[in-house]
Amino acid sequence: MVRGWASSPSMARSVAVLAVALLLVACETAVPVEAKGKGSKGKRKTHLGGVDKEYYKLRDECTGGCTGGSDVQKENCVLLCVSPECYEKIYGSDPLEEGELDTTRGRLFRTCVRTKDKRKATQQEL
């Protein structure tokens, strides 16, 4: 009867340990490859359109004039300063209250300001 090279339990254990050690070394020395994402998914948008720049520029200008009071009072002041027309249309009958976070009305307000600015720009071109 001919015995194989790994027929003894101690020899088989040694081969298994050696294989695991080689696998660990191979994993340690492997160069990681970064996965490429599809399109701009997961990336933060860093480019603001011209209209958005104007909106945030107006906000910055108005923020300096709205001091004192609570954060909500300052925010109402800034929104009123940015566009009294849009403020009346969106928040006039129900201004922001303490602790309220209304993203829907915020989006509507920004859309109103953008639309107003686009109309103003179109009229200036004529």
Residue 32 has what pLDDT? 59
User: Is residue 16 a part of any domain in this protein?
Assistant: no
94 in any annotated domain: yes
* Contact (CB, 8 A) for 66 and 81: yes
Q: Evaluate whether residue 68 is within a structural domain.
A: yes
Most confident of 8-17, 32-41, 43-52, 113-122: 113-122
Task: Classify residue 78: in a domain, yes or no.
Answer: yes
Q: How far is CA 59 from CA 31, 56, 79, in A?
A: 47, 5, 8
- Compute the distance between CA of residue 21 and CA of residue 2 in angstroms, rounded to an integer: 29
**Taking the model in full, what pTM does it have?**
0.57
Domain with 110 in it: 50-125
pLDDT tens digits, 67-83 = 888 999 999 999 999 99
| Structural domains in the chain (count) | 1
pLDDT in tens, 46-58: 555 666 788 889 8
- Higher-confidence position of 27 and 124: 124
